[in-house]
């Protein structure tokens, strides 16, 4: 079956990569960028860069306007309404670290922080370190064999000792959606705060933070076809009110003396220093671009890519898929074939996939593996990309077996 992407031409890098003999199948690590983003960032730099919020002059006012427009668009993307604020961070990792420091004062010895067995290091290590600092306990929710957080286990492990639940919406290794709504309900019933790592989930479909009822939802611009260096932290008003300032400097201050200072509330209170202005402007253009594409058509295209990818992998002898992927993101190992050797042969043939532990060492180790190969597709991929991949895979397997 031939599957063409109507959006491919919007992403100039795809052609450039093709000219370099590269087939890009690593969008879950970072996605390629639409021309609209490149134009918006170039326009900002070519027409007058200026700092935001503090400047009185016209370039400053224009930069501030574009910057604040993106904040509005990010809120709309998540259907935040007036339930909370969007804080700009440098990415998912910096948002999660902000939370782990900003909420630290709420934890006492013996309190529990609940995560799951599939978390990316970005949603594990900040909580692990917080637990160590406060003598709190990290509780790890187990997975079912399909690679989904086990809700029965969660119902017993989330308890009155739980102060915070932090889970990924979509696994970056297994490609599986997680039952975040049910987990949030369990945590809320115990009065715990809830944090959703939307780094992967935000890329696939639209999500509604009001319907989800999470306290915080975080993601990175660069995986959502936006620029790197910028991330979004959505927080509900009541949750943000509990967050302490953690980085100090310009922009976030209300009044400052030599011995004391007062600080702004969210969002600006959590955006100390000059923010990534051009990246925020680029992210705004990305939201415009994504709002213009037909989301239903994208979902259908990605569903077909998913089917082609999974069916093609399972056709090959000895392939073991990790979990049961819900999106066009699949990690696999092949019986009798060393992961690193296969990755090397794929790379030599211009196939850009990811190999290794995918920043989830505990998960990969718990599966008894040293690593896996991950193929992850974006809206610009097509069946020809997959044909290149499967050709290269077959040739590599011929050499290795
Ligand atoms: N969480 C998940 C599920 C991810 O896949 C990633 C990146 O791969 C991150 C967090 C970290 O994102 P970033 O490196 O953009 O901060």
Last residue of a domain, one of 247, 268, 291: 291
Mutate to test the pocket of ligand 1, among 26, 89, 93 (most ligand atoms within 8 A of CB): 93
> From the centroid of its chain, how far is CA 383?
25
| 186 φψ region: left (φ > 0), alpha (ψ -120 to 50), beta (else) | alpha
What distance in angstroms lies between residue 216's CA and the mean position of ligand 1's atoms?
A: 16
Question: What are the beta bridge partners of residue 1?
Answer: none
Of the listed 164, 359, 372, 373, which one is catalytic? 359
What distance in angstroms lies between residue 271's CA and the mean position of ligand 1's atoms?
A: 20
Q: Would residue 374 count as lying in a domain?
A: yes
- Looking from the CA of residue 169, the nearest atom of ligand 1 is 3
Same-domain status, 240 and 95? yes
Same-domain status, 14 and 74? no
pLDDT of 1 above 80: no
Same-domain status, 75 and 147? yes
- What confidence score (pLDDT) does residue 82 get? 97
- Looking from the CA of residue 119, the nearest atom of ligand 1 is 3
Instruction: Report the CATH number that the domain containing residue 328 is assigned in CATH.
Output: 3.90.1150.10
- What confidence score (pLDDT) does residue 190 get? 98
Same-domain status, 310 and 371? yes
Q: What is the pLDDT of residues 314-336, one digit of tens each?
A: 999 999 999 999 999 999 999 99
- C-beta separation of 237 from 84 below 8 A: yes
Last residue of a domain, one of 232, 260, 291: 291
Q: What is the pLDDT of residues 21-74, one digit of tens each?
A: 999 999 999 999 999 999 999 999 999 999 999 888 999 999 999 999 999 999
Same-domain status, 261 and 298? no
Same-domain status, 221 and 309? no
Same-domain status, 65 and 135? yes
What distance in angstroms lies between residue 89's CA and the mean position of ligand 1's atoms?
A: 13
Same-domain status, 17 and 108? no
Q: Would residue 33 count as lying in a domain?
A: no
Last residue of a domain, one of 291, 326, 358: 291
Q: Would residue 30 count as lying in a domain?
A: no
Note if 214 is an active site residue.
Answer: no
Q: What is the pLDDT of residues 298-313, one digit of tens each?
A: 999 999 999 999 999 9
Q: What is the mean pLDDT of residues 207-211?
A: 98
Q: What is the pLDDT of residues 216-234, one digit of tens each?
A: 999 999 999 999 999 999 9
Instruction: Report the CATH number that the domain containing residue 201 is assigned in CATH.
Output: 3.40.640.10
Q: What is the mean pLDDT of residues 80-104?
A: 98
Mutate to test the pocket of ligand 1, among 200, 201, 203 (most ligand atoms within 8 A of CB): 200
CA distance readout (Å), 312 to 74, 107, 298, 309: 36, 48, 21, 5
pLDDT of 401 above 90: no
SS (H, E, C) 231-245: EEEEEEHHHHCCCCC
pLDDT of 192 above 90: yes
Q: Would residue 348 count as lying in a domain?
A: yes
Mutate to test the pocket of ligand 1, among 27, 29, 91, 92 (most ligand atoms within 8 A of CB): 92
Q: Would residue 227 count as lying in a domain?
A: yes
The structure's pTM equals 0.98
Q: Would residue 146 count as lying in a domain?
A: yes
- What confidence score (pLDDT) does residue 173 get? 98
What distance in angstroms lies between residue 274's CA and the mean position of ligand 1's atoms?
A: 23
Same-domain status, 93 and 194? yes
Which residue minimizes the CA distance to atom 14 of ligand 1?
A: 93
Same-domain status, 214 and 312? no
CA angle, residues 355, 361, 366, in degrees to nearest 5: 110
- What confidence score (pLDDT) does residue 54 get? 81
Pocket, ligand 1, Cβ cutoff 6 A:
91-93, 120, 122-123, 168, 172, 197, 199-200, 220, 359
Q: What is the mean pLDDT of residues 86-91?
A: 98
Same-domain status, 255 and 326? no
Which residue minimizes the CA distance to atom 5 of ligand 1?
A: 172
Q: Is 57 exposed, middle or buried (0-12, 13-18, 19+ CB in 10 A)?
A: exposed
Q: Would residue 1 count as lying in a domain?
A: no
Q: Which domain holds residue 347?
A: 8-25+294-400
The sign of the CA dihedral 244, 249, 252, 253 is: positive
Q: Would residue 32 count as lying in a domain?
A: no
Taking the CA atoms of residue 138, residue 144, residue 145 and residue 147 in that order, the dihedral angle to the nearest 10 degrees is -70
CA distance readout (Å), 123 to 92, 210, 251, 283, 378: 9, 22, 27, 23, 23
- 155 pLDDT band, cuts 50/70/90, is very high
C-alpha span between 381 and 329 (Å, rounded): 12
What distance in angstroms lies between residue 119's CA and the mean position of ligand 1's atoms?
A: 10
- C-beta separation of 69 from 285 below 8 A: no
Number of separate domains in the chain: 2
What distance in angstroms lies between residue 34's CA and the mean position of ligand 1's atoms?
A: 20
Same-domain status, 17 and 136? no
Which residue minimizes the CA distance to atom 12 of ligand 1?
A: 92
At 158, list the tokens: 């989330």
Residue for token digits 């397997």? 397
């Amino acid at each position: 079956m031939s599957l063409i992407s109507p959006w491919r031409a919007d992403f100039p890098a795809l052609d450039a990569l093709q000219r370099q003999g590269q087939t890009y199948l690593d969008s879950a690590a970072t996605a390629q960028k639409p021309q609209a983003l490149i134009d918006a960032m170039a326009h900002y730099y070519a027409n007058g860069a200026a700092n935001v919020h503090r400047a009185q002059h016209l370039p400053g006012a224009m930069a501030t306007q574009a910057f604040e427009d993106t904040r509005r668009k990010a809120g709309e993307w998540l259907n935040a309404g007036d339930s909370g604020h969007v804080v700009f961070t440098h990415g998912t990792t910096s948002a999660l670290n902000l939370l782990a420091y900003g909420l630290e004062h709420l934890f006492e010895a013996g309190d529990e922080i609940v995560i799951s067995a599939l978390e990316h290091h970005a949603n594990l290590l900040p909580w692990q370190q917080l637990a160590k600092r406060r003598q709190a306990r990290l509780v790890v929710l187990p997975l079912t064999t399909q690679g989904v957080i086990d809700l029965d286990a969660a119902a017993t492990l989330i308890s009155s000792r739980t102060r915070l639940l932090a889970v990924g919406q979509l696994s970056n290794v297994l490609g599986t959606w997680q039952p975040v709504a049910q987990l949030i309900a369990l945590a809320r019933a115990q009065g715990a705060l809830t944090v959703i790592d939307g780094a992967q989930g935000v890329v696939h479909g639209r999500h509604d933070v009001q319907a989800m009822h999470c306290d915080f939802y975080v993601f990175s611009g660069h995986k959502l076809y936006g620029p790197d260096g910028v991330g979004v932290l959505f927080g509900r008003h009541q949750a943000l009110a509990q967050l302490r300032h953690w980085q100090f400097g310009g922009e976030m201050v209300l009044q400052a003396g030599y011995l004391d200072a007062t600080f702004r509330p969210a969002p600006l209170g959590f955006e100390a220093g000059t923010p990534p202005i051009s990246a925020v402007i680029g992210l705004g253009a990305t939201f415009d671009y994504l709002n213009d594409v037909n989301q239903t058509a994208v979902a259908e295209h990605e569903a077909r890519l998913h089917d082609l990818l999974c069916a093609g992998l399972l056709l090959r002898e000895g392939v073991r898929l990790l979990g049961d992927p819900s999106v066009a993101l699949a990690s696999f190992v092949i019986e009798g074939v060393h992961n690193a050797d296969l990755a090397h042969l794929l790379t030599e043939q211009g196939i850009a996939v990811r190999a290794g532990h995918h920043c989830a060492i505990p998960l990969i180790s718990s599966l008894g593996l040293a690593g896996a190969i991950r193929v992850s597709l974006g809206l610009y991929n097509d069946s020809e990309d997959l044909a290149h991949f499967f050709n290269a895979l077959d040739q590599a397997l011929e050499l290795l077996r």
